[in-house]
Amino acid sequence: MADLKNRKLIYLKGFLFLLMGILSAGLLIIQYPNFQFVSLLAICIWAFCRFYYFTFYVITHYVDEDYKFSGLGSFIGYLIRKRRK
């Protein structure tokens, strides 16, 4: 599959991910409307966002400026290669 280069499609893809997250979280909250569940869901979302930021920004800007990640699979491969050295 070729890289997506059209800016409008890139923005559309990003907003579709946002919409998918809002709808799925909303449906979960409707199904389980209690404070504990909503709090744990919010912490889960926040933690995964921070992990994503860590893998794509912190590593490339503070740990290894030469490496450019192309996805989470690439990050796992990077960790495995670094461990072998």
Q: For position 1, what pLDDT does the model report?
A: 63
- Conformation bin of residue 71: beta by default, left when phi > 0, alpha when psi is -120 to 50: left
Say whether pLDDT at 2 is over 80: no
Q: How far apart are CA 79 and CA 66, in angstroms?
A: 14
* Stated pTM of the model: 0.72
What's the pLDDT tens digit per position in 46-81?
A: 999 999 888 888 888 888 888 877 888 888 888 888
Tokens of 47: 């933690």
